[in-house]
Structure 1
């Protein structure tokens, strides 16, 4: 069980052997937008294949619900990268869909 609740727009992301839950709450998306710029532009970059790895990790970081103890953002980014883009893409797709559709 991933722990992610699709009814809340949540996504599961496996990093470093742990399954983390990403929830695109209002506060999480406001924080992501403050760092990354307009979310619609982020979605457009992703659709055009121009979303940078750092942008994806930042979006994930802001949407994390329960951060494992002592995990830094840098360590989180390394683990996402180690897992590969194919593993991160389903979670990214879910978050982008929630940004566009809302809940």
Structure 2
């Protein structure tokens, strides 16, 4: 489900049918997620306490989707998330939450300096 090379960059992959969807937590994507979900800090805290709602997970994932295919609408995406289930979504969520907490991966920062 999660390619290690993508995880180093703070990205994750979800396989939905024939589509491999890349999740990338950019500033714009996280800002959009925060506008819908509220504070990302509070979201991370709820996740740590085991109180994160399934709808919050799917909303976060929706906003950080990169290059979303036209046929993947919000309702199609939400149903696909339900079909995948929490056991398969949790490793992806961990990658995204780590990226939210840590910011830009060290590898990218080293390349810039």
Same fold flag (TM > 0.5):
yes
SS at match of 2:66: coil
Give me the whole-angstrom Cα distance separating, in 1, the residues matched to 2:48 and 2:18.
29
For structure 2, which runs of at least 5 residues remain unmatched after alignment?
105-113
Give me the whole-angstrom Cα distance separating, in 1, the residues matched to 2:64 and 2:97.
12
- How far 1:17 sits from its partner (Å)? 4.1
Could you tell me which residue of structure 2 aligns to residue 59 of structure 1? 60
Off by >6 Å, runs of 4+ in structure 1: none
If you compute each CA radius of gyration, which structure gives the higher value, 1 or 2?
2
Could you tell me which residue of structure 1 aligns to residue 69 of structure 2? 68
RMSD after superposition: 1.6
SS at match of 1:97: helix
Could you tell me which residue of structure 1 aligns to residue 46 of structure 2? 45
- The answer (yes or no) to whether the contact 1:14–1:87 under 8 Å persists in 2 is no
For structure 1, which runs of at least 5 residues remain unmatched after alignment?
none
Give me the whole-angstrom Cα distance separating, in 1, the residues matched to 2:30 and 2:38.
11
Give me the whole-angstrom Cα distance separating, in 2, the residues matched to 1:45 and 1:30.
18
| TM-score, normalised by the number of residues in structure 1 | 0.90
Give the total of aligned pairs. 102
Give me the whole-angstrom Cα distance separating, in 1, the residues matched to 2:8 and 2:85.
26
Could you tell me which residue of structure 2 aligns to residue 13 of structure 1? 14
Give me the whole-angstrom Cα distance separating, in 2, the residues matched to 1:7 and 1:27.
20
Give me the whole-angstrom Cα distance separating, in 1, the residues matched to 2:90 and 2:32.
21
| TM-score, normalised by the number of residues in structure 2 | 0.83
